[in-house]
Amino acid sequence: MSDYKALQEAVLKGDIKTALEQTQKAIDAKDVARDVLDNGLIPAMDEMGDRFAKGVAFVPQMLRAAKTMQECVKLLQPLFAEGDITSKGKVLIGTVKGDLHDIGKNLVAMMLEGAGFTIVDIGVDVSPDKFVEKVKETNPDIVGMSALLSTTMPAMPETIEALKTAGLRDNIKIMIGGAPVTEKYATQIEADSYASDAGSAVAKAKELLGIS
């Protein structure tokens, strides 16, 4: 097994060119793709997550590291064995009905993706029916709902109700967030989890699915 220090450093720096070179080097050395991912890329992202949580790394650095990792994964893709890549889980995410804001939602989606989740982003102003339809279609593990306005927040319980009526509620975990949302509100509307920001959304998502 190779030493992936140079690769990890490149991911942490967000140096896509060097990271790709290092990944190619590992491929040329006949390293197993799964090893490059598990022992090279993922520990680098974990380290970045740590740095971010400690407040020594900034959001753009985190996002760039995630992008760097994704580019490397693309290069490895043809070399993975069947069933090799196990996504941490699938998250369907959208801003609720009546709300057109998406920066917070996008940030959460990017962070989750960087942490190894598969993201299905269904956009803004998503009606309860649309949530139901998309859940049926994509079969996610987690449904994430976002609202910036307290006036659109009531669309969250409406959506949960619609998912219940459609018989989908028990198959999924529901996570909510956004400026007016609180832990208490999450409990009140019987969501499974609340995250106060994009960083903690990753931790909460892992917690919901019982993974580390």
Contacts with another protein, residue ranges (CB under 8 A):
55, 58-60, 100-101, 103-104, 107, 150-151, 154, 179-180, 182, 197-198
Least distance between another protein and beta carbon 142 (Å): 20
- Residue pair 71/20 in contact (Cβ under 8 Å)? The answer is yes
By beta-carbon proximity to another protein, the closer residue of 60 and 210 is 60
124-155 b/e (C-beta count within 10 Å ≥ 16 → b): bbbbbebbbebbeeeebbbbbbbbbbeebbeb
By beta-carbon proximity to another protein, the closer residue of 106 and 118 is 106
β pairing state of 173-177 and 193-194: parallel
What is the Cα–Cα distance from 175 to 172, expressed in whole angstroms?
10
Alpha carbon distances (Å) from 88 to 58, 111, 172 = 23, 13, 15
Least distance between another protein and beta carbon 159 (Å): 15
Least distance between another protein and beta carbon 152 (Å): 9
By beta-carbon proximity to another protein, the closer residue of 60 and 78 is 60
**Which tokens belong to 135?**
């859940």
By beta-carbon proximity to another protein, the closer residue of 1 and 103 is 103
Least distance between another protein and beta carbon 121 (Å): 17
By beta-carbon proximity to another protein, the closer residue of 84 and 102 is 102
Least distance between another protein and beta carbon 151 (Å): 5
| Measured CA angle at 139 (ends 136, 141), to 5 deg | 135
